[in-house]
């Protein structure tokens, strides 16, 4: 492959990835390594390094034949406004630990010389006739193709007769037990793309929209010659970005008609930008039947894309190793944060006693001004807690209004007060938010590398109002070209159990997260810890999560792991061999290898030696899992 030419003319993410000809998970490994270094140095007390590079701009290991090939739009200018979100497919696949190559359509021919790979068209692409013909011939001869958000002109390959643009709708499952959709529970609210009429393809799901809107099939499976094609007709990539990032917040949101979420409270906050639907996207909770966003829509939309890859790979016998979301076969991670509103040292000590009793390491988001006595910060640091910022843009004093200058000032204040060299994460007081991406850009500029603001302030917005349980790097789709922001967002599920909702919500939310393998993030204010039943509820939640197999981490640990994990690059070699190249040593990395059939266990060789694996189920598919310490290049062979 010629790696010297820029790959796509205007799509930065694709260009950055393609010009280095990279494997997926690992587009950012170079920078991730540097960033991780900065974190580790900060922890060990050495002078910390500024973190300036964006995740998207970096390049990882060389790819030779990754099992998944992503094809992007080569000219964003004419493909419509939603096309600006399509490069986000890279972030979706990276978070899932899928290794992939990215190529422009012009260079597809180089990769279509063999059938044993999955080609994914990221958006309704404007392919030239020659490229469409080439792709059709390749599928016909046994290739596996996935289309997202439209057919890209390959109607015959996808078995589709016609398509009608879709403004907004809900995917309705037909075949409940089909591997692409089995056991999905959310409303599957989607934005953009198409509803289509099948001509030969089997419809797995339909889409419903408004009274005058498009109706038809949403998910279709087709055999084309010796190959297979899956069409995800609604624009799932745009939908994930839209649900996560929401509308710009310049006015109060519309409240829930049932009175459960009065977000029109005169204060601008993250929820005011939510795009989900009060009636169709919420689920009544036990025991009080108040509807909340219990099922993470964007997690399930991501999973439909992943399941499409797994389904085709297993049917066509394509070897597919992934780096699991978490180390040591953890099914999910929990995270408890505290916002220090009031800065009452007595209540801080009371909270510390509770979390110490739970053997929990939590994140203390500290509010300006005042804060805690310096000795208390020392105690937190000695005991391994994370001290984070609780940016106040609510109080309205000169230094507590919404502005970048005030974020900088408050960060400087906390660095000094708490004797820190680095502040890794932040949560905004009252979940304050204005505009859409400004705050995340500010965080990137000042070196705050994780945000945990986006979540509810009302009972009726509890759960997943702004994306799902998967931590994610947001997309600056207003930049030209679009680029990822180097700030990991960890959504918050609810504030104080007992105080804002019944304690029973906690376990239901943990169960939702376990189904999707993300982060269960709960906020407990020290100001409420001495109220009846709060401490017991926190302890019960922590114990329940542990019984279900998750570990409770600080926000900083979540960022450190995600950075380390994304530093693992992969090269695919001949004979079902894959070489993993960690940017830094990784302890306890869990690799999962898709089984072609659920009952057919793969034999795995690591550096030539057989290793014992355990069966692993995720997103409805069966894998073989093995946990390894990766100190340097490591080969995995799948027999």
Write out the residues near Zn ion by the rule CB under 5 A: 339, 341, 429
What residue spans of 399-487 are helical by DSSP H? 404-418, 438-446
Q: Which of 9, 122, 15, 138 is nearest to 71 (CA)?
A: 122
455, 431 contact by CB (below 8 A) = yes
Q: Which of 339/477 has CB closer to Zn ion? A: 339
Q: Which of 35/448 has CB closer to Zn ion? A: 448
From the CB of 342, what's the least distance to Zn ion, in Å? Answer: 9
List, edge to edge, every strand of the sheet that includes 321-323: 321-323, 586-594, 621-630, 614-618
Q: Which of 339/486 has CB closer to Zn ion? A: 339
- Pairwise CA distance, residues 228 & 369, whole Å: 61
DSSP labels for 294-320?
-S-HHHHHHHHHHHHHHHHHHHHT---
Backbone angles phi, psi at 522, to 5 degrees: -120, 135
First to last CA, the chain: 27
Q: Which of 339/417 has CB closer to Zn ion? A: 339
Q: Which of 155/339 has CB closer to Zn ion? A: 339
From the CB of 500, what's the least distance to Zn ion, in Å? Answer: 13
- Pairwise CA distance, residues 427 & 451, whole Å: 6
From the CB of 401, what's the least distance to Zn ion, in Å? Answer: 15
- Pairwise CA distance, residues 60 & 283, whole Å: 41
From the CB of 435, what's the least distance to Zn ion, in Å? Answer: 20
Q: Which of 341/540 has CB closer to Zn ion? A: 341
Q: Which of 84/528 has CB closer to Zn ion? A: 528
Q: Which of 429/566 has CB closer to Zn ion? A: 429
From the CB of 431, what's the least distance to Zn ion, in Å? Answer: 8
* Strands 621-630 vs 586-594: parallel, antiparallel or unpaired: antiparallel
265, 256 contact by CB (below 8 A) = no
From the CB of 591, what's the least distance to Zn ion, in Å? Answer: 40
Burial class (CB in 10 A: 0-12, 13-18, 19+), 78: exposed
Q: Which of 121, 217, 131 is nearest to 169 (CA)?
A: 217
- Pairwise CA distance, residues 240 & 498, whole Å: 31
* Strands 144-148 vs 118-122: parallel, antiparallel or unpaired: parallel
Q: Which positions ≥6 away from 396 have C-beta within 8 Å?
A: none
From the CB of 416, what's the least distance to Zn ion, in Å? Answer: 21
- The tokens describing 536, both together, are 């017991």
From the CB of 422, what's the least distance to Zn ion, in Å? Answer: 22
Backbone angles phi, psi at 282, to 5 degrees: -115, 160
Q: Which of 198/455 has CB closer to Zn ion? A: 455
From the CB of 340, what's the least distance to Zn ion, in Å? Answer: 8
From the CB of 392, what's the least distance to Zn ion, in Å? Answer: 7
DSSP H/E element including 77: none
Q: Which of 66/393 has CB closer to Zn ion? A: 393
Buried b (16+ CB within 10 A) or exposed e, 363-372: bbbbbbeebb
From the CB of 409, what's the least distance to Zn ion, in Å? Answer: 17
Q: Which of 361/429 has CB closer to Zn ion? A: 429
Q: Which of 429/565 has CB closer to Zn ion? A: 429
Buried b (16+ CB within 10 A) or exposed e, 312-349: bbbebebbbbbbbbbbeebbbbbbbbbbbbebbeebbe
From the CB of 538, what's the least distance to Zn ion, in Å? Answer: 17
Q: Which of 10, 3, 33, 23 is nearest to 582 (CA)?
A: 33
């Amino acid at each position: 492959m010629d790696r010297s030419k820029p790959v796509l003319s205007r799509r930065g993410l694709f260009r950055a990835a393609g010009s280095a000809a990279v494997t997926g998970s690992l587009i950012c490994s170079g920078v991730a390594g540097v960033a991780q270094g900065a974190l580790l140095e900060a922890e060990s007390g050495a002078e910390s390094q500024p973190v300036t590079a964006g995740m998207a701009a970096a390049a990882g290991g060389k790819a030779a034949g990754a099992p998944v090939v992503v094809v992007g739009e080569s000219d964003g200018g004419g493909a419509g406004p939603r096309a600006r979100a399509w490069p986000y497919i890279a972030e979706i696949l990276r978070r899932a630990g899928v290794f992939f190559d990215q190529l422009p359509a012009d260079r597809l021919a180089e990769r279509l010389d063999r059938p044993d790979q999955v080609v994914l068209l990221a958006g309704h692409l404007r392919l030239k006739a020659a490229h469409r013909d080439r792709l059709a011939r390749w599928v016909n001869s046994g290739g596996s193709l996935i289309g997202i958000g439209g057919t890209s002109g390959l109607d015959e390959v996808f078995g589709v007769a016609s398509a009608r643009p879709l403004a907004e709708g809900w995917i309705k499952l037909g075949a409940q037990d089909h591997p692409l959709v089995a056991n999905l529970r959310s409303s599957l609210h989607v934005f953009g793309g198409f509803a289509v009429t099948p001509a030969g393809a089997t419809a797995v799901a339909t889409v419903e929209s408004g009274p005058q809107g498009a109706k038809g099939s949403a998910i279709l499976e087709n055999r084309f010659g010796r190959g297979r094609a899956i069409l995800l007709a609604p624009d799932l990539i745009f939908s994930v970005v839209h649900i996560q990032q929401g509308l710009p917040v310049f006015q109060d949101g519309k409240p829930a008609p049932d009175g459960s979420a009065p977000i029109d409270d005169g204060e601008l906050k993250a929820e005011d930008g939510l795009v989900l639907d009060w009636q169709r996207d919420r689920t009544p909770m036990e025991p009080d039947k108040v509807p909340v966003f219990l099922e993470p829509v964007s997690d399930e939309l991501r999973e439909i894309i992943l399941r499409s890859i797994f389904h085709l790979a297993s049917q066509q016998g394509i070897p597919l190793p992934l780096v699991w979301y978490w180390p040591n076969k953890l099914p999910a991670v929990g995270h408890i944060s505290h916002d220090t509103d009031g800065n009452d040292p007595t209540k801080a000590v009371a909270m510390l006693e509770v979390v110490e009793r739970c053997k929990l390491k939590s994140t203390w988001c500290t509010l300006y001004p005042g804060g805690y006595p310096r000795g208390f910060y020392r105690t937190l640091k000695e005991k391994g807690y994370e001290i984070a910022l609780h940016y106040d843009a609510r109080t309205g004093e000169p230094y507590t209004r919404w502005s970048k200058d005030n974020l900088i000032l408050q960060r400087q204040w906390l660095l000094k007060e708490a004797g820190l060299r680095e502040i890794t994460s932040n949560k905004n007081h009252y979940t304050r938010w204005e505009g859409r991406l400004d705050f995340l850009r500010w965080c990137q500029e000042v070196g705050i590398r994780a945000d945990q603001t986006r979540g509810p302030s009302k009972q009726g917005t509890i759960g997943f109002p702004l994306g799902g349980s998967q931590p994610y790097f947001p997309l600056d789709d207003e930049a030209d070209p679009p680029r990822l922001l180097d700030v990991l967002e960890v959504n918050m599920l609810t504030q104080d159990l007992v105080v804002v909702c019944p304690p029973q919500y906690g376990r239901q939310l943990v169960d939702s997260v376990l189904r999707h393998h993300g982060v269960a993030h709960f906020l407990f204010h020290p100001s409420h810890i001495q109220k009846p039943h709060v401490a017991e509820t926190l302890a019960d939640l922590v114990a329940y999560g542990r019984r279900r197999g998750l570990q409770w981490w600080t926000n900083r640990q979540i960022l450190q792991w995600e950075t380390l994990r994304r530093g693992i690059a992969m090269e695919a070699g001949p004979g079902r061999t894959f070489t993993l190249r960690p940017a830094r040593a990784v302890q306890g990395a869990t690799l999962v290898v898709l089984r072609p059939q659920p009952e057919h266990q793969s034999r795995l060789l690591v550096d030539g030696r057989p290793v014992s694996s355990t069966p692993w189920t995720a997103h409805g598919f069966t894998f073989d899992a093995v946990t390894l310490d990766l100190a340097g290049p490591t080969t995995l062979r799948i027999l």
